[in-house]
Amino acid sequence: MYKFDTLDRSQTNSAKWEGPRHKVGRDDYLVFSVADSDYETAPEIKKALKERVDHGAFGYTLAGDGYIEAVQTWMENRHHVSVKKPWIVPAPKVLTSMSMMIEAFTGADDKIAIQTPVYHVFFDVVKLSGRKLVENPLDDENGYAMDYAHLERCFQDGVKMLFLCSPHNPVGRVWKKEELQKLVELCKAYDVYLVSDEIHADLILPGHTFVSAGTFFEDYENILVVNAPSKTFNIAGLHAANVVVSTPALRRTLKATMRKFFIGTPNALALTACQTAYEQCDAWVDAQNEHIRANYELTKSFFEENVPEAKVSDLQGTYLLWIDLRAFNVKGKDIYEGLMAHGIVVGEGKRYGVQCDGFIRVNLACSKAQLLEGLRRMDTYFETLRT
Ligand SMILES: Cc1ncc(COP(=O)(O)O)c(C=O)c1O
């Protein structure tokens, strides 16, 4: 019913496709790096945007009742979190919201923890704020898990805020309720703000269940959840996100900080796209998740059969596949550049953590045809490492 083909984005100044052009040195390159999908957004969103554009007036626009209700209903139905309307604070971007949280709830000398490997911009958000970055590396003994003992030592050492990535980019984990509960208890014991970035929350592979940190709002008052339709619906260029804060005092402080920097709601078109996504696109999201699952199965089998040296992570959520290539004993930079010379751009492992040299992150949200061509080129490159 729905099609998930790769769109030609060459005329759109796509950051994902145009960004690497100067580095690659050939025109037929394929990009599997930046986390946006190559799919056309849901037809319902395209239609709503066309109608909104046809209206012709694009003045200052409120996040109206319909918008807030759509976010509330989506969270209730898809994330199983019961949210009251005033808890929802619309914002233009997830990263902007996280910067505002740092500004609102931490002081200049405070420490903020992240769990590596993690979305590389988390490093920047903390460092650019001037706060001290503390790393709690994920434990990768038997699949990735949170290292609570080390995290507790970080908390004892004065961490004030933790950025949780849920589901976790780049390792693809969908955190289980028990894992989150333990984390919440630890944050509560040490009075640490728990900021849960749930931008990938709708990209859950069949067989896994997403649990929002918002499930624990009643257990701990210092939880802030931020989610967005941007990854799920390929509308990151429109800028829409929503922060969910159940504690009135936190909400007041966050809103005051946003006001200080004149951070408003998503723009007029973003509001239309987000509301439509959450009101009308359940079936489209399920179909997309099925397509991503099929791409994952294809990639996993491909690596099992052709690249036995590689360790492919168990993809539970997101469309970002984390692959360990350390068995080749080649520097990560050489792998990254070698793949590029074969016309493939991937995410280089060490961007996500110093311990990740020799890993790559591969975005699977593309057509099957593009994926197959990418895998064929990878295979040709990996063969050169064996000789
Ligand atoms: C975990 C995570 N958070 C945030 C972002 C960026 O969000 P935004 O563009 O809304 O700031 C990304 C984009 O890749 C991401 O993967």
Clarify whether residues 112 and 249 are in a common domain.
yes
Q: How many domains does the chain have?
A: 2
**Residue 1 predicted with pLDDT over 90:** no
Nearest by Cα to 9 from 52, 38, 44, 49: 38
**Cβ < 6 Å from ligand 1: which residues?**
35, 93-95, 119, 165, 169, 197, 199, 228, 230, 236, 241
The C-alpha angle 221, 195, 269, rounded to 5 degrees, equals: 110
**Residue 25 predicted with pLDDT over 90:** no
Please identify, by atom number, the ligand 1 atom nearest to the C-alpha of residue 118. 1
pLDDT in tens, 287-311: 999 999 999 999 999 999 999 999 9
Ligand 1 centre distance from Cα of residue 42 (Å): 20
**Residue 202 predicted with pLDDT over 90:** yes
Residue ending a domain, among 280, 304, 324, is: 280
pLDDT in tens, 151-161: 999 999 999 99
Q: Whose CA is nearest to atom 7 of ligand 1?
A: 94
Looking at residue 236, the DSSP 8-state letter turns out to be G
Report the CATH number at residue 171. Answer: 3.40.640.10
Q: Which of 32, 37, 89, 95 to mutate to test the pocket of ligand 1 (most atoms within 8 A of CB)?
A: 95
Q: SS3 for 141?
A: strand
H-assigned helices in 169-281: 177-189, 248-260, 268-280
Establish if 103 belongs to a structural domain.
yes
**Entry pTM:** 0.97
- pLDDT band with cut points at 50, 70 and 90 for residue 142: confident
Clarify whether residues 299 and 276 are in a common domain.
no
Q: Which of 16, 37, 100, 119 to mutate to test the pocket of ligand 1 (most atoms within 8 A of CB)?
A: 119
Nearest by Cα to 42 from 92, 94, 1: 1
Clarify whether residues 37 and 138 are in a common domain.
no
Residue ending a domain, among 280, 313, 346, is: 280
Q: How far apart are CA 373 and CA 219, in angstroms?
A: 49
Clarify whether residues 105 and 37 are in a common domain.
no
| Residue-wise burial string across 316-329, b where 16 or more C-beta atoms lie within 10 A, e elsewhere | bbbbbbbbbbbebe
Nearest by Cα to 247 from 225, 221, 227, 212: 221
Clarify whether residues 67 and 188 are in a common domain.
yes
Domain span holding position 377: 15-42+283-386
Ligand 1 centre distance from Cα of residue 306 (Å): 32
What is 284-317 written as a DSSP string? HHHHHHHHHHHHHHHHHHHHHHH-TT-EE----B
Please identify, by atom number, the ligand 1 atom nearest to the C-alpha of residue 241. 10
Establish if 3 belongs to a structural domain.
no
Clarify whether residues 171 and 32 are in a common domain.
no
Establish if 197 belongs to a structural domain.
yes
pLDDT in tens, 261-294: 999 999 999 999 999 999 999 999 999 999 999 9
Q: How far apart are CA 356 and CA 31, in angstroms?
A: 20
- pLDDT band with cut points at 50, 70 and 90 for residue 6: confident
Please identify, by atom number, the ligand 1 atom nearest to the C-alpha of residue 228. 10
Clarify whether residues 168 and 99 are in a common domain.
yes
Clarify whether residues 311 and 234 are in a common domain.
no
Q: How far apart are CA 46 and CA 273, in angstroms?
A: 8
Q: Which of 169, 198, 321 to mutate to test the pocket of ligand 1 (most atoms within 8 A of CB)?
A: 169
Clarify whether residues 299 and 321 are in a common domain.
yes
Establish if 8 belongs to a structural domain.
no
Ligand 1 centre distance from Cα of residue 169 (Å): 9
Which amino acid belongs to residue 279? E
Clarify whether residues 252 and 170 are in a common domain.
yes
Establish if 10 belongs to a structural domain.
no
Cβ proximity of 233 and 42 under 8 Å: yes
Report the CATH number at residue 300. Answer: 3.90.1150.10
**Residue 203 predicted with pLDDT over 90:** yes
pLDDT in tens, 326-343: 999 999 999 999 999 999
Share of the chain above pLDDT 90, in %: 97
Clarify whether residues 103 and 206 are in a common domain.
yes
Establish if 140 belongs to a structural domain.
yes
pLDDT in tens, 113-136: 999 999 999 999 999 999 999 999
Ligand 1 centre distance from Cα of residue 230 (Å): 8
Clarify whether residues 68 and 164 are in a common domain.
yes
Residue with tokens 């931490």: 106
Q: Which of 33, 101, 121 to mutate to test the pocket of ligand 1 (most atoms within 8 A of CB)?
A: 121
Per-residue confidence (pLDDT) for residue 10, from 0 to 100: 86
Q: SS3 for 204?
A: strand
Contacts of 133 by beta carbon, 8 Å cutoff, 6+ apart: 111, 112, 114, 123, 126, 127
Residue ending a domain, among 222, 245, 280, is: 280
Establish if 5 belongs to a structural domain.
no
Ligand 1 centre distance from Cα of residue 94 (Å): 6
Please identify, by atom number, the ligand 1 atom nearest to the C-alpha of residue 239. 10
Looking at residue 5, the DSSP 8-state letter turns out to be P
Establish if 2 belongs to a structural domain.
no
289 C-beta neighbours (distance < 10 Å), count: 19
Q: How far apart are CA 112 and CA 106, in angstroms?
A: 9
